[in-house]
Structure 1
Amino acid sequence: MYALYHYPLSPFSRKVRLCLAEKKIEVKLIEERYWEQDADFKRRNPAGKVPILKIGSKFFSESMAICEYLEDTIPDPSLLPRSAEARYETRRLVSWFDDKFYAEVTSKLMGERVFRKIMGTGYPDSSNVKAGAKAIKYHLDYMAWLLEKRRWLAGNEMTLADFAAASHLSCLDYVSDVDWNRSEVVKDWYAKIKSRPAFRTILADQIPGFKPSPQYANLDF
């Protein structure tokens, strides 16, 4: 039995959810208000972060480590390429989105506009919102540059790199923070990955107090 402690607008949780769904692994989703840091949660993961995957009596934390564990134990369908060079590029891009994109965009836009309200930590910092809105343009242009040469972000196969990017962008798209008209190739890529069956539960997410953008669940956006 698989259970995933997650938060719906956590891109790291979404990456693991996509991986599980793509591999057709049934999982019980348990919403975790991780910022409250209750004792049971800290026992499951002393780092105090989501996602946490429970398999039987064992707990697994850190989203990329979880995804690689699933790749090792349930290799079909594969989300990591075979060649060492292609695997490197996939891991490099996962790190790009989970580290650089998160720090420069997700944490500034989602963090200020959504999580401050959810966590009750005050009003948005407009300078952070402006910085995030500026940075996302650079990242979308970088994605466009990659996708003009490749079918998917890391190469000609869909990989965890695509799931990492789509996880962050889908969170931002929930609150209409992505300009899909900036790049046709990025929009086409997102439409392609958004239409996969693995994305269905993510598109059904509803956050109390925040209505999803009109195009969020629309496959023909």
Structure 2
Amino acid sequence: MIRLYHVPLSPFCRKVRLVLAEKKIEVELVEERYWEQDPDFMRRNPAGKVPVLRIDDMNLAESTPICEYLEERYPNPTLMPKDAEGRYEVRRLMAWFDDKFHHEVTSKLLYERVNRKLMKSGYPVAANVKSGSKAIKYHLDYMAWLLDRRRWLAGDAMTLADFAAAAHLSALDYTSDVDWNRHEVVKDWYAKIKSRPAFRSLLADHVPSFPPPEHYADLDF
């Protein structure tokens, strides 16, 4: 049995969930309140973070190494290009979203609005929310620039880069923090990836006390 310890709105967990679903790998989802530092969970990942993927007797941590492990162990359908240049571009964009986008946007919006309440760590810091709301515009503009030149973010085929981006944006869409009308090409890209069967479990997520907007699960927005 493959088991994923996760938090529903975590973009890093969502990225792994998308890869598992796209590759049709059966998995048991276990919600983990990692901030409570349960001793059993800390033994699985001393870093105290999700996602953690348990396969056989292995505990795999960190979303990008997990995704690349799954790509190597379950190569079909492929989510990485064959050429070195293409693989570099996928990794560059994954780092862009998981590092830069996460620091400038996700941590300022999703974490302030949702995580603070879940962790009982106070109220959202208005300055952080304002900063994240401003920064996301730049990132959407950059995505539009890429998609004006490519079918998908990293090239002509869907890759892990698209899943990394969609994982962050879907979580922010849950909190109504994405202006899909800013760039039609970005909205079309998200509609395309949102309509894939792999996305269904994400669209079914529901966090207590945080209902999603009506359009969240609507494939036609």
Judge same fold: TM > 0.5, yes or no: yes
Supply the distance in 1 between the matched residues of 2:36 and 2:137 (Cα, whole angstroms).
33
Tell me the residue number matched to 1:152.
152
What is the CA-CA distance between 1:38 and the residue it aligns to?
1.2
Note the alpha carbon deviations across 1:25-62, whole angstroms, 9 max, x for none.
00000000111111111100001110000111211111
Deviations 1:102-153 (A, max 9, x none): 0000000011111111110001100000000000000000000000000000
- Percent pairwise identity: 72
AA matched with 1:178: V
Aligned-partner residue type, residue 154 of structure 2: A
Is 1:10 the equivalent of 2:10?
A: yes
What does 1:9-88 align with in structure 2 at a 5 Å threshold? Answer: 9-88=9-88
Q: Secondary structure of 1:210's partner?
A: coil
**TM superposition score normalised by structure 1:** 0.99
Residue 218 of structure 1 is matched in structure 2 by 218
Identify unmatched segments of 5+ residues in structure 2: none
Q: Distance in 1 between matches of 2:220 and 2:120?
A: 35
Aligned residue number for residue 193 of structure 1: 193
Three-state SS of the structure 1 residue aligned to 2:132 is helix
Where does residue 121 of structure 1 map in the other structure? 121
Hey, what does 2:209 align to over in structure 1? 209
1-structure distance, mates of 2:178, 2:159: 22
Q: How many equivalent residue pairs?
A: 221
TM-aligned CA deviation for residue 165 of structure 1? 0.2
Tell me the residue number matched to 2:178: 178
Q: Distance in 1 between matches of 2:28 and 2:80?
A: 25
- SS, match of residue 217 in structure 2: coil
Unaligned runs of 5+ in 1: none
Distance 2:220 2:111 in 1: 28
CA distance in structure 1 between the partners assigned to 2:172 and 2:37 by the alignment: 24
> Equivalents in 1 of 2:129, 2:56: separation in Å?
41
CA distance in 2, matches of 1:105, 1:182: 16
Provide runs of 4+ in structure 1 moved above 3 Å.
none
TM-score between the two structures when normalised by the length of structure 2: 0.99
SS of match in other structure, 2:170: helix
1:26 is paired with a residue whose SS is: coil
